Structure 1
């Protein structure tokens, strides 16, 4: 029954989205950038969401509706208050059509003076644009509460509003805490109770879409979380790494968590240093990619932005939000685009 219900949701997504966001009662389509939300009813049968449907977790593995392991590959947008120009339908369309992503991450800023903590509706609108664009393209979308410190009241308000609007869609994934800090932060004492609160609030509205939780030390203490895991269904754990900084030791800890039964998803990684800058480390990046692909662990790269740092996919000063030429891409951007396109081509064979 669950599989049939979720499959129907994709077919009926246009009407449901219109009602969820308080849209046109006369049946007219809402607009996001270039195409109407009614396009959701015409998503090609070959898209990731059409192929896999609603995701769930079985035996420590993220699977599709037919029980097959699913590996999502994609890009994260940058902090939403500092890279707002890319929170558009055009950007998502281009990432799907040219970069061949199967997932995109909306990093909704929850730190600083110009974030969702002060601008709730503005940031809800950004998340909504990305969610609707992802749904119209038939890809998955992670709504990431992008914070390093706890803001439970604000996080609960934001993510339950997302659940009310979009929890009926099969492509939605929640990430309630991007990267808890390391010093003075304990999984069982601090972070687990936070997640229990947010998960309960989401589940009261959306009973089954994936929730991917963070752990201390910038979402790297997955081995510690595995000793005292959260209860509930369809709860996975994010793992963040930066290849030039984090290598065999972190991968061993991640493997320990995986062997203990945690379902992992790499919702953020870089092929450079943990600062987001520095040289590209291809040897370490390839080791991480090999491990992730071997174990069907999804990955999303940081990030779509034009900042002057080596993790940015776009060169500083890039004005276009889509249609980027090779000259618009940084070395990291060219590597990620090629990797995503090659993975998509391999899956099609």
Structure 2
């Protein structure tokens, strides 16, 4: 090949490289695209000031010995980003019970750390969830846990703090849940002044309307938790959510399922589609239940699926296949 042809090839190669640059630049991670999240009115917005709607799966309870710990690793998070196009994952850190944080604080903290580190490496958002139905009974543990998380990761835009997963129906908003939140939130805010903080609501995070009538005041970037299971929860719960939104609070669906509220049963596709329409209409972010391989309708994986994240569709349950489709096309 003569020098003249070599020169032409070099110019062609440079031209193709320059043409490809804009397309490369568009391939941003979710965090690069949206940056620091904030609450504006009843919306979650990115640093660009526009509404942001994130989608991804929730991991199962992190409790030692409960069988889901093996999925708390970087390989799974990487797969969820690349194959599922997830923009957020949720670490459900079991606060109490056998193997929970109260019994094994370091083991559960390390599982949270594994997902947070992986999410940061992949440019995803990560909800750090204090997965409890009785958080007000061990407030001190929550303070220690969230202090440690905020000190380690509060300077990153990736982390979202969920301080109470699902208060029970008997846990009154005004008397129990709100005082708990107003104790834990200032501890986080002393360290991290701006990352989103998600507050659970009464009756398994369904009575968002009650919280919206008596919201937490004087603290920025507070979001309220809405949970639903499509086989059980229908239009009545959406009406509660509409009331809350109309009252000016922001909501995040940090956990929802395609099946019944007990985590089992068949996929209720008609109801799911109604909920998806609702969440799109209001730009709601969500995480789906759950990253596990136990025999349960809500499990994403079939029993015995590997923990390396290198799954094909044959490794996924009916629920898992449906959720993958939803998340990857959100």
In the superposition, the TM-score normalised over structure 2's length comes to 0.89
Correspondence 1:1-349 to 2 at 5 A? 46-81=28-63, 82=66, 83-149=68-134, 150=136, 151-183=138-170, 185-231=171-217, 232-343=219-330
The count of corresponding residues between Structure 1 and Structure 2 is 300
In 1, the alpha carbon distance for the partners of 2:319 and 2:207 equals: 26
How far apart are 1:63 and its partner, in Å? 0.1
In 1, the alpha carbon distance for the partners of 2:45 and 2:278 equals: 18
Max Rg structure = 2
Moved more, 116-125 or 172-181: 116-125
SS in 2 for 1:106: strand
In 2, the alpha carbon distance for the partners of 1:79 and 1:277 equals: 16
How far apart are 1:140 and its partner, in Å? 0.3
* Deviation readout 1:76-121 (Å, 9 max, x if unpaired): 0000022100100001000000011000000001120211111111
SS in 1 for 2:150: helix
In 2, the alpha carbon distance for the partners of 1:198 and 1:52 equals: 27
How far apart are 1:66 and its partner, in Å? 1.2
Aligned 8 A contact 1:44 1:50 in 2: no
In 2, the alpha carbon distance for the partners of 1:264 and 1:171 equals: 18
SS in 1 for 2:204: helix
SS in 2 for 1:226: helix
How far apart are 1:320 and its partner, in Å? 3.4
Q: Is there any run of 5+ residues in structure 1 with no aligned partner, and where?
A: 1-42, 344-349
How far apart are 1:319 and its partner, in Å? 2.7
SS in 1 for 2:260: coil
Aligned 8 A contact 2:76 2:307 in 1: no
In 2, the alpha carbon distance for the partners of 1:176 and 1:341 equals: 27
Which runs of at least 4 in structure 1 moved beyond 6 Å after TM superposition? none
In 2, the alpha carbon distance for the partners of 1:165 and 1:176 equals: 17
How far apart are 1:45 and its partner, in Å? 5.6
Moved more, 169-178 or 43-52: 43-52
How far apart are 1:321 and its partner, in Å? 3.0
In 1, the alpha carbon distance for the partners of 2:283 and 2:119 equals: 22
SS in 2 for 1:285: helix
SS in 2 for 1:249: helix
In 2, the alpha carbon distance for the partners of 1:318 and 1:111 equals: 27
Q: Is there any run of 5+ residues in structure 2 with no aligned partner, and where?
A: 1-24
Equivalent in the alignment of 2:12: none
How far apart are 1:325 and its partner, in Å? 1.3
In the superposition, the TM-score normalised over structure 1's length comes to 0.84
